[in-house]
Structure 1
């Protein structure tokens, strides 16, 4: 029976000038039958202290059972010696690990080759090689190896899977063939592993990484802390414990674009940190240049770190590039992120990380499709990723290292952030259905062919989507509802630790507006049924008021939180929807109502932009829309429309607002009496955000 678990193998590197007594044959992990007396002495010495090379690197010294060389020395093809004296100890700072937490060498572990397939489930819970990654164990992974990258082999490619199954796979489920190295992860999926050396590039990643560090020095650690305190909880696409362990142990073999992306996002909160605000802020333009060049280079050697870097760079408010999103979708498919990896023979922590990155990519593609008005590149028919579970967010400490136990603030922020991430995925799937139902070329053609019946056709197709949106809203946990008080967490030092992001709620309003926007676009005062016309406009008005009042209630703590990349356009969509209702208003009184609300909304955004600069984009776009409305023709006054009220809906007794939002809508459009009619969710939200005489600004204590 073939072993199920993967096995670490050294990657090809340039040999050192000193010849190693251990010959690398390609099957380096098979214990040698003959060892010299010096080698045996080395093993005894190895258990006492780290070798000279690991001591110089300040790296963890690991030796596998039956091996002569430690993993790093074997990797670099160099002698594993124990002749140098220990380096003098440096006095540790107060914020470093105290001296009483000395590392102890873990007991010898079983080789993955010795683990039987029937023991996999039990071993996955305790075996450090599987659940507890470290820099030297990245070779166990599929998409995070140093020196190698993988590409997925599809069923219709030139490499027929039936022929690939004829290969002889070793203990790592790998087989060397003429065109590369095959790696099977389960019965159906196979990858080709390539050496990074096969892709020619003059880009020096080591130099780029040094430049990144020098650009932010000496504030790198502070920026890392900001990132994991504010961004990571609700956007968990990095294995936090693995990253921090490598960073604190001076392992600087990062993807430069990834590290630059972390620093760039953290710089958004530079002025809010007391210790940093008075310091000179690092050059973000230089970081962006390095990150862009490095990302383009690493796409030739795709790894999970490539996806992480790209997704982080796209979260910057001014970097929602459609072309980069499409490139990341292609890279993700090369890495097999669109597949179900639940049973793959890779480390359990990598499975969880792959799923989180996959869903982050899904959201990036779908929201980019909405805000740019372009076709999505991810389709349900080819999306097999399973929903996330609690295990997929597990942060496992590294075996033999000083594990950093989470504080109470970190635990709370992780739980709340996980909830935000899951709820955003669910909302994105509904939003994607709205786009597929109303904004594809096929749907547009259907509505055009329907002619005067287009509105009724749209309402019929809107019913199932509206029901899903209503159910999502009703199932929101208590701590994620929009009427929840600000649940900012404070650390023991009084420093803000985590703000529950409101971009989730903003995305909800953007989804509703996207749905009702299509309904309003189909209405025509001359061809639409008058009753239907006013009912649909009344429901749209409810949406607009709810969304605007939600923005009015944002506190400074909300504005200082992490906002998803689509947020600046989602704020803009609220203003765009208001302008649409203004432009299509049947009376001058109704047009003046929307003009007044848009003026208040613009003032709110301009004040809020002092704490959230990205809102300046929404202000500029709102001004552009108002500029277009200057060409709007004069509308008839209310006296010329005797059957309409000030809001432009039928007077009570002739099909009032309440009747239209409820039973009237169901009976008139054939939508039934069950829950989910167009208008119910908006009316419910309006109850939470009543429209007052006008927004009067933030309370004094908030400013």
Structure 2
């Protein structure tokens, strides 16, 4: 029996002299993807012998992979998790990033080609050309947009502005490609360039003269307003130290550091927007002229005051439609931060514990502020990826323990790092975004990788930092906690919105065209996150902590609104008129609260631009849905009933994510109609006019100036 089995097994083996497979192919035959026919007794194969070329074998033999695609995918996920567990900040989004990671860790890695080994040269070129064509279709031209100074600025294809342009085309309006938020020159907009310095030096020869027209108690109230309403969002100063230096300057101005003095004027400028005391606009112009005069001196110094001052000036420029100048100054602050070692935890230089913790706080505020701009413009970050991470500051030492929940800064720091990872995932090479399929397809795609990290972050949150406990917190801690979750949902929207835009475009162009399951899933994640983001912005408005004057609240509101618009488009294109009611209701709520905020004359230019977009898209989507229903409904009564159902429905927002269901359920309670904490004055003109696409186009072209 055993002999029979052995003979059968042996008989199935092909004798060596009859084997056709080549044990080792030469490099030329491997390149040709052809059989390497070895000639007995010859050093060269038949092809190389015929063509008279050198026959050599230097390329490694291709290793076979055993197992199904599912098992290999699971194995790769486990390997990725192991690497992330050992190196939490590792970027595994591309082969180049993993090569750099291995080099930084001293681990030699083999060189892996990006192209698939089973493709021929021609196939590889065709694939590359197809991807390039897809990328060109998605980017729609070179992302250089004219600003208000007659120059062009780079706005990446994954930027918020590009996303907005694509959405407008989807609804049927081709916008002018000009960017108003990159406004006129921030230095010479008030005076002629030749007269500015002479006028300043003659009218205000010393910094004390710039504040001489305002009483000391009024200036004190501005400092109070800054630390009460702005500092928690943008912690770059230490209140006790700043007040001590301010009192010393009030008594004797001669020995004050120019960088600190420049920062003082920036504090006054920012606080004027939120103060309940009316400060004339002319005072702000005086302060800003002094900032312009002091900035050249500040640029040539490298200390903590310099970084603080540049960040305060950048925030003012960001808010007043000078986001290009804000970008430049933020980059300068990053370089100076490197120069004084803010990016290194071990750089102590015999400093006090307070000094060391303030350096950490300043670094992470700068990191977050810079990466928010990176996410908005889709530009490369000035802060290079590094494995040397600064630890979060001690909340008790820096004095924020009473203004935010415990361990808030630690979890905020982790989330900021995830924002940086998301920016790199959307543009891994720094030279342009990948196609939607490349970024979002598969379990190891950059988008899936970032979304898993975000889920892990949220699952690990301690109970006292979850949304459900918001109402039980002290009023001073509610806004920081809500903003923490606002940033979480914003990052999810940032990662997934390209998939949702692709889905909406696909439905508009080819109503029955199939969409891959990966893109469909990620687009649903974007919708869920956009709705949750809208709910939190509405919650901030309900508790009177919506800041439309000095922080990113309007920007987040726009991000949520555009997602809601795309959700409505998708549902309408799929002939589901009853489904977009939830998104329409949320969009209408956002437009209402934004319209109310815009009545405040202190809302600066950038925020006003974003606010008008929210009001405008809400009105336009209402018209879009009504027109679509009127075309598809043959019965006027049926159309009216469907429209009424769409306007009154307010069911649970999120259907595919249990986590987001809880978010919506928590914030969908009855809301109070109370006056806004951030509203300081009402406009007698009442509501804004009804906006249309031409109005928003004129606004973005700069036809209408903003304050």
TM range (shorter): 0.5 to 0.7
Give the 3-state SS of the residue equivalent to 1:214 in structure 2: coil
Maintained 8 Å contact 1:503/1:564: no
Structure-1 separation of matches of 2:274 and 2:453 = 36
| Partner of residue 468 from structure 1, selected from 442, 445, 453 | 453
Give the 3-state SS of the residue equivalent to 1:682 in structure 2: helix
Report the alpha carbon displacement of residue 577 of structure 1 after superposing the two structures with TM.
1.6
Structure-1 separation of matches of 2:207 and 2:624 = 53
- Counterpart of 1:559 in structure 2 is 545
Report the alpha carbon displacement of residue 380 of structure 1 after superposing the two structures with TM.
1.9
Matched, 1:619 2:606: no
Deviation readout 1:191-244 (Å, 9 max, x if unpaired): xxxxxxxxxx99989955324432543322222233233333454322333332
Structure-1 separation of matches of 2:400 and 2:380 = 39
Matched, 1:267 2:272: yes
- Counterpart of 1:428 in structure 2 is 416
Matched, 1:336 2:341: yes
Maintained 8 Å contact 1:215/1:282: no
Give the 3-state SS of the residue equivalent to 2:469 in structure 1: coil
- Counterpart of 1:193 in structure 2 is none
Deviation readout 1:415-461 (Å, 9 max, x if unpaired): x27854443322211122112112445696653675xxx64338843
Matches within 5 A, 1:256-405: 256-271=261-276, 276=277, 283-316=283-316, 317-318=319-320, 320=323, 321-381=326-386, 384-390=388-394, 394=397
Report the alpha carbon displacement of residue 574 of structure 1 after superposing the two structures with TM.
0.9
Give the 3-state SS of the residue equivalent to 2:487 in structure 1: helix
Structure-1 separation of matches of 2:252 and 2:396 = 24
**Aligned-residue RMSD, C-alpha:** 4.4
Structure-2 separation of matches of 1:499 and 1:449 = 37
- Bigger drift between 561-570 and 224-233 goes to 561-570
- Bigger drift between 202-211 and 220-229 goes to 202-211
Matches within 5 A, 1:687-698: 687-690=665-668, 698=673
Structure-1 separation of matches of 2:662 and 2:444 = 19
Structure-1 separation of matches of 2:231 and 2:527 = 36
Deviation readout 1:236-286 (Å, 9 max, x if unpaired): 322333332232343531432110112122223321xxxx35x76772222
Matches within 5 A, 1:55-204: none
Report the alpha carbon displacement of residue 592 of structure 1 after superposing the two structures with TM.
6.9
Change (3 A) 1:458 1:294: farther
| Partner of residue 486 from structure 2, selected from 506, 526, 529 | 506
Report the alpha carbon displacement of residue 489 of structure 1 after superposing the two structures with TM.
6.0
Structure-2 separation of matches of 1:584 and 1:448 = 17
TM-score, length basis structure 2: 0.53
TM-score, length basis structure 1: 0.53
Report the alpha carbon displacement of residue 313 of structure 1 after superposing the two structures with TM.
2.6
Change (3 A) 1:479 1:659: closer
Change (3 A) 1:504 1:285: farther
Report the alpha carbon displacement of residue 689 of structure 1 after superposing the two structures with TM.
3.3
Report the alpha carbon displacement of residue 369 of structure 1 after superposing the two structures with TM.
0.6
Structure having the larger proportion of residues in helix: 2
Structure-2 separation of matches of 1:362 and 1:562 = 22
Maintained 8 Å contact 1:264/1:284: yes
Maintained 8 Å contact 2:482/2:536: no
Matches within 5 A, 1:444-593: 446-447=434-435, 450=438, 455-457=440-442, 460-486=445-471, 500=480, 502-523=482-503, 524-525=506-507, 527-529=513-515, 535-555=521-541, 557-559=543-545, 565-585=551-571, 586-588=573-575, 589=577
- Counterpart of 2:664 in structure 1 is 686
Structure-1 separation of matches of 2:477 and 2:469 = 18
Structure-1 separation of matches of 2:676 and 2:230 = 26
Deviation readout 1:326-365 (Å, 9 max, x if unpaired): 2222232233322334443444433222222221211111
Matched, 1:210 2:208: yes
Deviation readout 1:270-313 (Å, 9 max, x if unpaired): 21xxxx35x76772222223223322431022321111112123
Change (3 A) 1:575 1:658: closer
Structure-2 separation of matches of 1:602 and 1:658 = 18
Matched, 1:242 2:241: yes
Change (3 A) 1:411 1:533: closer
- Bigger drift between 324-333 and 210-219 goes to 210-219
Structure-2 separation of matches of 1:309 and 1:229 = 19
Maintained 8 Å contact 2:299/2:306: yes
Report the alpha carbon displacement of residue 517 of structure 1 after superposing the two structures with TM.
0.5
Maintained 8 Å contact 2:497/2:523: no
Change (3 A) 1:445 1:371: closer
Structure-2 separation of matches of 1:411 and 1:441 = 38
Deviation readout 1:363-392 (Å, 9 max, x if unpaired): 1110111122322111222x63421242x7
Maintained 8 Å contact 2:544/2:676: no
- Counterpart of 2:402 in structure 1 is 413
- Counterpart of 2:228 in structure 1 is 229
Structure-2 separation of matches of 1:351 and 1:241 = 16
Report the alpha carbon displacement of residue 617 of structure 1 after superposing the two structures with TM.
3.4
Maintained 8 Å contact 1:388/1:422: yes
Change (3 A) 1:243 1:572: same
- Counterpart of 2:94 in structure 1 is none
Structure-1 separation of matches of 2:496 and 2:436 = 17
Structure-2 separation of matches of 1:701 and 1:351 = 38
Structure-1 separation of matches of 2:585 and 2:397 = 50
- Counterpart of 1:107 in structure 2 is none
Maintained 8 Å contact 2:232/2:480: no
Report the alpha carbon displacement of residue 535 of structure 1 after superposing the two structures with TM.
4.5
Structure-1 separation of matches of 2:654 and 2:619 = 36
- Counterpart of 2:595 in structure 1 is 606
Change (3 A) 1:659 1:459: farther
Structure-1 separation of matches of 2:517 and 2:232 = 48
Structure-2 separation of matches of 1:487 and 1:293 = 47
Structure-2 separation of matches of 1:423 and 1:701 = 29
Change (3 A) 1:570 1:225: same
| Unaligned segments of structure 2, at least 5 residues | 1-196, 635-641, 644-651, 680-707
Change (3 A) 1:285 1:440: farther
